[in-house]
């Protein structure tokens, strides 16, 4: 019989493949507010869940230091650490045309530019991504990436006091601080028209790869700065899913994702820290590549119809080398009664009994 653990002890034991007093539960939302989750600490529908999570769940306090995609949400750039050097400039332009509100955000360099456009009317919004043609991609991939250590570290230092306040405020026994610092593919994916992006994986693969190599220089500096300051115990790699089947081939995944994630994971492990990789979608074909990259945890395993891989199938591939994290179907999570949810979670626990598992749930 294992003695009762704190959430933190349970989390790290599970990520290390050790026995735990019970299966950890992760509800995804961080302790401190962030724009991509409801503020669970104050929202009346979530506050009781947040309070209960302190007792029953692990908490990973996900922060990101304002590491941007830089394609656009350009109007939020003041919150972000620049992707490009100061020679690359930005401007925004708004207009009213034929009953439409049009917002354009430009990236400009040496007399050339690309822009994101959002058209809004009474019936909704339409977005034109800035990378819409081969010429757009060529321009974007030619932009000088910020790799000056002093400038990057100065930007990180500006954000350090707020991070340290949140770290001090976070009760360590809840779990761990977790940094989400990005991957090289993120700016290209978020800036691209996805139909073109899929084609570029065949016709412009070398050009994108050269951009990823340069973006990785910047990320090495950022990750090293955070690791040397012992800012977090866990790093969350979010971007792995952005160049994978069925949108692009497994070969593209092996070229645009695996070498960069593998290097980051090795770097993080060299400082004694843990890595959780994030991946939604059709994961089965690339699961052997996660085994090669070697994270401590993999989030998330999703069975059909949302994903294409059961826990049993995943364990057959990764064996006992990675802690798997997952997951009820999202629509089930929203619609199940308490009794149905108990049955669903019990099914997961039975399927994964004796295996490395963190049960997680999605929420908006």
Residue 105 lies in a domain: no
The answer to the question of residue 187 being in a domain is: yes
Task: Please report whether residue 94 resides in a domain.
Answer: no
pTM above 0.85, yes or no: yes
Split the chain (364 residues) into runs of 10 and give each run's mean pLDDT.
92 97 94 87 91 94 84 61 93 88 94 94 90 97 97 96 97 96 95 96 98 98 98 97 97 98 98 97 95 96 89 96 88 85 92 95 57
Per the structure, how many domains does the chain have? 1
Q: What is the helix, strand, coil percentage profile of the chain, to 5?
A: 45, 20, 35
pLDDT tens, position by position, 272-282: 999 999 998 89
Q: Is 224 exposed, middle or buried (0-12, 13-18, 19+ CB in 10 A)?
A: middle
CATH at residue 14 = 3.20.20.210
Mean pLDDT of the chain: 93
Q: Are 103 and 126 in contact (CB under 8 A)?
A: no
What is the phi-psi region of residue 121: left when phi exceeds 0, alpha when psi lies from -120 to 50, beta otherwise? Answer: beta
Angle between helices 194-203 and 134-142 (to 10 degrees): 70
Asked if residue 124 is part of any domain, the answer here is: no
**How far is residue 233's CA from residue 273's CA, in Å, rounded to a whole number?**
5
Residue 2 within any structural domain of the chain: no
What pLDDT shows up at residue 364?
A: 38
- Identify whether 125 is part of a domain: no
Helix 205-228 and helix 134-142: axis angle, to 10°?
40
Domain that holds residue 295: 7-71+79-84+131-360
């Amino acid at each position: 019989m294992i003695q009762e653990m704190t959430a933190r002890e349970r989390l790290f034991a599970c990520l290390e493949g050790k026995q735990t007093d019970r299966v950890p539960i992760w509800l995804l939302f961080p302790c401190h507010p962030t724009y991509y989750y409801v503020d669970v600490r104050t929202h009346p529908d979530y506050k009781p869940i947040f309070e209960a999570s302190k007792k029953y769940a692990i908490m990973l306090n996900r922060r990101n230091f304002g590491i941007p995609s830089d394609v656009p949400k350009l109007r939020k750039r003041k919150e972000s650490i620049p992707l490009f050097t100061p020679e690359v400039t930005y401007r925004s332009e708004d207009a009213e045309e034929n009953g439409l509100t049009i917002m354009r955000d430009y990236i400009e360099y040496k007399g050339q530019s690309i822009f994101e456009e959002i058209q809004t009317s009474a019936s909704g919004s339409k977005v034109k991504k800035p990378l819409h043609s081969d010429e757009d991609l060529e321009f974007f991939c030619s932009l000088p990436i910020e790799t000056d250590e002093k400038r990057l570290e100065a930007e990180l230092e500006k954000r350090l006091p707020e991070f340290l306040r949140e770290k001090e405020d976070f009760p360590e026994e809840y779990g761990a601080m977790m940094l989400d610092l990005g991957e090289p593919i993120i700016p290209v994916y978020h800036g691209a028209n996805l139909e073109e992006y899929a084609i570029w994986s065949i016709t412009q693969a070398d050009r994108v790869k050269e951009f990823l190599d340069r973006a990785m220089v910047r990320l090495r500096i950022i990750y090293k700065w955070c690791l040397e300051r012992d800012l977090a115990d866990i790093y969350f790699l979010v971007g792995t899913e952005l160049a994978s089947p069925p949108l692009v081939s497994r070969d593209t995944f092996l070229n645009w994702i695996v070498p960069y994630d593998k290097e980051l994971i090795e770097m993080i492990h060299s400082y004694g820290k843990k890595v959780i990789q994030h991946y939604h979608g059709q994961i089965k074909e690339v699961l052997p590549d996660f085994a090669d990259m070697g994270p401590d945890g993999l989030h998330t395993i999703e069975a059909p119809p949302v994903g294409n891989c059961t826990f049993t199938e995943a364990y057959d591939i990764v064996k006992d080398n990675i802690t798997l994290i997952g997951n009820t179907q999202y629509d089930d999570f929203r619609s199940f009664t308490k009794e149905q949810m108990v049955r669903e979670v019990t099914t997961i626990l039975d399927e994964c009994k004796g295996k490395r598992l963190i049960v997680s749930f999605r929420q908006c």
